Amino acid sequence: MADSNFIDYVKILCRSGKGGAGSRHFYRAKYVPKGGPDGGDGGRGGHIILRGNKNMWTLLPLKYRRHIFAGNGQSGSGGRSFGKDGDDVVIDVPCGTVVFDAETGEYLTEVKYDGEEVNLLRGGRGGLGNWHFKSATNRTPRYAQPGEPAIEKSIILELKLLADVGLVGFPNAGKSTLVSAISAARPKIADYPFTTMEPQLGIVSYRDNRSFVMADIPGIIEGASEGKGLGLRFLRHIERNAVLLFMVPADADDIVEQYNILKHELEQFNPQLADKPRLLAISKADMLDDELMTEIEKTLPEDVRHIFISAVTGYHLTELKDMLWGEITDESNRLATPDIIHRPLDGHHRVREEDEFIFEYEPTPEEEEQEDEDLQSINPDEWGADFDWDEDVDYEDNPE
C-alpha cells in the first residue's frame, strides 16, 4: 500500500487555539488622573473543523500533514479593545470519514454529507479584561482573566466508502471480473491471489437510466480476523452498504464451507454485519451444466437467496442486477443511515504502522512567550493558578 494513492486510514495530531488573555490596562489621559480599568478581552482560539468534500476520495493529503494547529487568540489591550480571534482550520475530508480517538479507540464523530461541517476541537475562550471586575469595593482590579487553554488530541480518520453493494469473497472468486463486466470500472485482474490490493468502486447501469454503486474489496481468507492475508483492514468499506453480495466460485471444494467462513470473518470484524441483507452468487457457472447446478442447489443454505452467474459469458448477470436492485430499493435495507453502529478501534481494526507513528513537536519561541504572558495575567489570590471555567456560566454577563 506504500505506493498507492488510496489512503483510508491516517493518524494526525490536532490542536485548537488557546484563548487570548484579558488585559490589565488602566485608562491614561491628560486631566484624567483616575481613569479606571479599561483592559479589553482576549480573542477566541481557533477551532478545528472537519468538512465533507464530495470531490475527495482518499485521505492522502492528510498523510503528509500530520500536525494541524489552529491559531491562538490574541491578548486584549487598552481602551477595551478585544484581541483578535485565532484562525480556524478547516480540514476537507471525503464523505464517509469517521473519527476515532487515537489513544482510546473511542468513536468521536463522522462526516457523511458534502459541505457538512463538524466542529472537532473547540478553540479556547478569550479571558475577560480587568474592566469586567471593577466594583464599588474594588475600583482598581489589577488582574484579568487568562484565556481558556487549547485542546490537543491525537485522532484517527477512517474512510468508509459509500456504496450500495459490497462484494465479499475469497481471493480469485471473480469479484473484480464481475465489477469490470457490469460497470465501467477496470480493476486489475490476474490469476494469483490478492490481485486486488485496494477497494474499487464501479457504477452499475440499470434499467430506465438508473444505477447503483458496487464496491469490490480485497479478498478475505480464513483467519483474516487474526491478521492472515490482508486481514480485515478493508472490511470497513462495506459497513455502510445496503446489501452484501457473497461470491463463491463454482470450482470451490466446499461452497457452503467457504460461505460460512466468510460470514464468520465478517461477524468477527463487526457483529452488525451479520444482520445485513445478503445474496450468494456462485461465480464461474460456465463450468457447470444444469445437472451439476441442481446438485449444488440442494446443498446451499436456505437462509440466503442464491444465483449462478458467469461474468465471462454474461450468464444471469441481468437477473443478478434485478435481485440487487430489489434489495437496494427495499426501504428496510437502505443503510444510507445515520444510525450505523461504529465499533471502537481495537486490534482487529487498527493499522499498526499508523498506530506506531510518533508525533514530535517543539513549541516555537513565540508560543512560549505567549504562554508566559498568559500566566502573568493571573492573580493567584483571586483566580488561582488554574481558573475553573464553568460551561453553564456566561462570563460576559456575570463576570463575578
pLDDT one-digit tens code per residue, 97-118 = 999 998 888 889 989 889 999 9
Report the half-sphere exposure of 237 (CA within 13 A, side-chain side). 27
**Cα–Cα distance between 216 and 238 in angstroms, integer?**
9
Residue with cell 494541524: 68
Residue with cell 482550520: 89
Identify the pLDDT of residue 191. 56
H or E segment and range at residue 297 = helix 290-299
Residue with cell 464530495: 54
Give the tens place of pLDDT for each residue, 131-178. Answer: 888 888 888 888 888 889 999 999 999 888 777 888 888 887 788 888
**Cα–Cα distance between 175 and 327 in angstroms, integer?**
19
Answer yes or no: are the C-beta atoms of 174 and 284 closer than 8 Å: yes
Which three cell numbers mark 249? 466460485
Residue with cell 469517521: 98
End-to-end alpha carbon distance in the chain: 57
The DSSP code for 136 is S
Q: Mean pLDDT across the stretch 84-98?
A: 92
The residue that leads in pLDDT, 48 or 195, is 48
Say if residue 95's pLDDT is above 80: yes
| Phi, psi at 3, each rounded to 5° | -95, 5
Sequence-distant (≥ 6) Cβ neighbours of residue 111 within 8 angstroms: 50, 51, 52, 93, 95, 96, 97, 99, 118
Mean pLDDT is lowest, of 145-154, 215-224, 330-339, 350-359, for: 330-339
Which three cell numbers mark 210? 438508473
Cα–Cα separations (whole angstroms), residue 323 to 129, 180, 305, 330: 68, 19, 9, 11
| Whole-prediction pTM | 0.70
**Cα–Cα distance between 221 and 218 in angstroms, integer?**
10
Cα–Cα separations (whole angstroms), residue 262 to 59, 171, 255, 275, 320: 28, 11, 11, 14, 20
The residue that leads in pLDDT, 353 or 400, is 353
**Cα–Cα distance between 89 and 106 in angstroms, integer?**
23
H or E segment and range at residue 295 = helix 290-299
Say if residue 381's pLDDT is above 70: no
In percent, how much of the chain has pLDDT > 90? 16
Give the tens place of pLDDT for each residue, 220-253. Answer: 766 555 555 555 667 777 777 888 889 888 888 8
| Phi, psi at 235, each rounded to 5° | -70, -15
Answer yes or no: are the C-beta atoms of 250 and 215 closer than 8 Å: no
* E strand segments, 264-361: 278-283, 305-308
Say if residue 2's pLDDT is above 50: no
At residue 25, the 3 state secondary structure works out as coil
**Cα–Cα distance between 259 and 24 in angstroms, integer?**
72
CB atoms within 10 A of CB 21: 31
Cα–Cα separations (whole angstroms), residue 126 to 26, 129, 150, 282, 390: 19, 9, 11, 64, 14
